[in-house]
Homo-oligomer: A and B are copies of this chain.
Amino acid sequence: MTADVSRAPRDPGSDAEGTRWLDAGEQQAWRAWLYSAQLLLDRLDRELTHATGISHAYYEILVALSETEGRRMRMSELADRCLSSRSRLSHAVSRLEERGWVRRQVCPDDGRGQLAVLTDDGFAALEAAAPVHVEGVRTHLFDQLSPQQVAAMRDLGETLLRHLGTR
């Protein structure tokens, strides 16, 4: 006897706690989404890391910095932009600093704050990595999808973002 605990472990309806279990169709949709998301994120990260030595997490930090005026940003703002905790970002910036790609600068407006500044070396590293990343996204994502599917993907993402909060 197997027990698929994502569906009801007993007869539906006999469940005292009233958990709203997934039906077979929801189950399949969820699994397909979950597996494809995990595989895609993993694949992109792996290919980028192998080709350039830059993980996807680091890449997002460099991109965020490169898109701002002066290529610098407050640590907290950068953390929010990268969906990262403060702590995680702080560690990551330390490691990027060791590589000479980012440096820290005390924030002039607020003595508590720090600015992360993208260096020229950091920008060069990003320029080298960008084609690899974009090619990965194209190959593994957009090349596989029809325009309708791309539209659906965007709609889906934006709907979920409204609920999860852009934070």
Q: What is the interface of chain A, defined by CB distance below 8 A to chain B?
A: 2-6, 9, 17, 19-22, 25-26, 28-43, 63, 66-69, 83, 123, 126-127, 130-131, 133-135, 137-138, 140-142, 144-145, 149-167
- A145 x B156 contact (CB < 8 A): yes
In the complex, chain B residues whose CB is within 8 Å of the CB of A152: 149, 152-153, 155-156
- B142 x A26 contact (CB < 8 A): yes
Closest beta carbon of chain B to A129's beta carbon, Å: 8
17 A–B contact pairs at CB < 8 A? A3-B66, A3-B67, A4-B63, A19-B134, A22-B137, A25-B154, A35-B83, A35-B166, A36-B164, A39-B83, A39-B167, A40-B160, A140-B160, A141-B160, A144-B162, A152-B152, A153-B156
A108 to B5, CA, bound (A): 28
- B127 x A145 contact (CB < 8 A): no
A128 to B33, CA, bound (A): 24
A142 to B157, CA, bound (A): 13
Closest beta carbon of chain B to A14's beta carbon, Å: 14
Further 19 A-B residue pairs, CB within 8 A, beyond A9-B130, A26-B142, A36-B161:
A2-B66, A6-B130, A17-B131, A25-B154, A26-B150, A29-B154, A31-B157, A32-B153, A32-B156, A32-B161, A35-B83, A37-B157, A39-B165, A39-B167, A140-B163, A140-B164, A149-B159, A152-B155, A153-B156
